[in-house]
Structure 1
Amino acid sequence: MSHASDPAATPEQPGKKRNPVWAAVREVLIIVVVALVISLVVKTFFFRAFYIPSGSMEETLQVNDRIFANLMAPGPFELNRGDVVVFRDEEGWLPPIPATATNPVTEFFTFVGLVPDPSNQHLIKRIIGMPGDTVSCCSADGKLTVNGTEITEPYIFPGDNPSDSEFTKTVPEGKIWVMGDHRAASADSRYHEDLQGGFVDISSVEGRAAVISWPLDRLGSISGHHEVFANVPVPASK
């Protein structure tokens, strides 16, 4: 008597000859489909590519840097002071952008989220004030204060002041106060007081900038420098 593992127990079955070309094509198609599905899931729920067009965040981010933003903040992950965030320009901080020529290849990579979408208006800045915070400039030492506490900002562009204009702002609920790291070259919350006080809706935030992906010699994470705000007290309104 033969056992199931005995080759003699399984007679050879006649079958169709396998086409090696079609097998290879099918394998490539499966890989492409799986990669596309993964890219779409990542783009929709986790990360999205963005392009840095200006020097407003120097030296943290340089002109022409490509970054990936974590789309789960805000969401499962909360925003914090110091986070560098990408947000939609829903208040018209930027001038309209002209239409740009595209091709099927760039359109495909834009669709799957690996290349920034040039048709969307986004800005990238650092959160200085969260809801309830009072942000002021400047103290006797020329520093920003948050809830009355001076902060020392190592990310500011060398030679820049924390701000060349004086202001005191209390951030409303559901908003944030944002500033560029290159303070002398950033048209941030300070310069848009005519548009809802310069505050940005948290609902406009696409995500937290997480990684510089290009150029390769700048590959690395983007710091929120949360230590800067470690001693800032909870706002009195909380």
Structure 2
Amino acid sequence: MEQARRRERRGPGRRRGIWAVVLLGLGALLIVEVGWGGLLFTKEYDLRSVPGPSMAPAHPSGSEVWLERLAARDVARGEVALFAPPASWGVDADLLGRVVAVGGDRISWAKGDAALTLNGKPLVEPYLKDPAVPAVVPFDVTVPEGRMFVMGDNRVDSADSHIRIADDGGSVPMSAAWGVAVGTPTGLLVAGAVALLGVPVLLTGGGLGIASLVARRRAARAL
């Protein structure tokens, strides 16, 4: 009978203690492991403010754009890249532009053309701010290997490759691009939310641990 009473007195504290250990471990795991994973994830992405109106309407001036950092690959045709312009352009800041041609491509435009011509075919560009203005200056360029031809979606307000034909044919080294525009990286947001969830879990575990300790001491004094 006495042993049953002792178990009854110790039971609530013991159960709380078990839950405390479980929640403390889970909370620490969420904060450390998931939070660390989210930190590593941020090294692959960067959030930047769009510098100027050249990429409207997809990326208006002052809006924010997520960029995936480039590692061991070139920028693909059609992607929007953030790149360091050549010194001859006289621009100190990074620029955001759409890659319309890459090494080996021939791209051109003549007055009166309804679209740019890429490798002998009209280039479909649904992203243009004004489809009636695919360019403002005539050009005809074959892009050297390892380089890219970059233009803004807002062609009437974009000092891009087709305006810089006198500078190496307007092309830019692929190595000058360090990031490409992507949608919001949901994995990063989920990792952050899960890591934050670990905080109340950890606090709950700590509270249960204290409650368990108090219950055990009371039970010990009652013996």
Tell me, yes or no, if structure 1 residue 87 matches structure 2 residue 83.
yes
Tell me, yes or no, if structure 1 residue 197 matches structure 2 residue 169.
yes
Give the aligned partner of residue 221 of structure 1.
none
Give the aligned partner of residue 53 of structure 2.
55
Q: CA deviation at 1:208?
A: 1.5
Contact 1:177/1:199, CA 8 A, preserved across alignment: yes
Superposed, 1:163-174 pairs within 5 Å as 163-174=135-146
Deviation readout 1:150-195 (Å, 9 max, x if unpaired): 1232111136510121000000010000100000000000222343
Q: CA deviation at 1:73?
A: 6.3
| Larger RCO: 1 or 2 (CA < 8 Å, sep 6+) | 2
Decide which structure has the larger Cα Rg and report it: 2
Q: How does the TM-score come out when normalised to structure 2?
A: 0.62
Q: CA deviation at 1:70?
A: 1.5
- The aligned amino acid for 1:89 is P
Output the aligned Cα RMSD.
3.4
Tell me, yes or no, if structure 1 residue 42 matches structure 2 residue 41.
yes
Superposed, 1:1-238 pairs within 5 Å as 37-44=36-43, 46-72=44-70, 75=73, 79-91=75-87, 93=89, 95-96=91-92, 121-138=93-110, 141-158=113-130, 160-211=132-183
For 1:65 and 1:130, the matched residues in 2 are separated by 27
Superposed structure 1 runs of 4+ greater than 6 Å apart:
27-33
For 2:184 and 2:54, the matched residues in 1 are separated by 16
Contact 2:128/2:134, CA 8 A, preserved across alignment: yes
For 1:174 and 1:199, the matched residues in 2 are separated by 10
Instruction: Specify whether residues 149 and 139 from structure 1 end up closer, same or farther in structure 2 by C-alpha distance, changes over 3 A only.
Output: farther
Aligned sequence identity (%): 29
Deviation readout 1:76-126 (Å, 9 max, x if unpaired): xx5322111111234353544xxxxxxxxxxxxxxxxxxxxxxxx311111
For 2:95 and 2:67, the matched residues in 1 are separated by 12
Q: CA deviation at 1:197?
A: 2.6
Structure with greater proportional helix content: 2
Instruction: Specify whether residues 35 and 204 from structure 1 end up closer, same or farther in structure 2 by C-alpha distance, changes over 3 A only.
Output: farther
Contact 1:74/1:205, CA 8 A, preserved across alignment: no
Flag structure 2 segments of 5+ consecutive residues without an equivalent: 1-6, 8-25, 186-223
Q: CA deviation at 1:67?
A: 1.1
Instruction: Specify whether residues 32 and 193 from structure 1 end up closer, same or farther in structure 2 by C-alpha distance, changes over 3 A only.
Output: farther
Instruction: Specify whether residues 84 and 73 from structure 1 end up closer, same or farther in structure 2 by C-alpha distance, changes over 3 A only.
Output: farther
For structure 1, which segment, 85-94 or 46-55, has the greater mean C-alpha deviation from structure 2 after superposition? 85-94
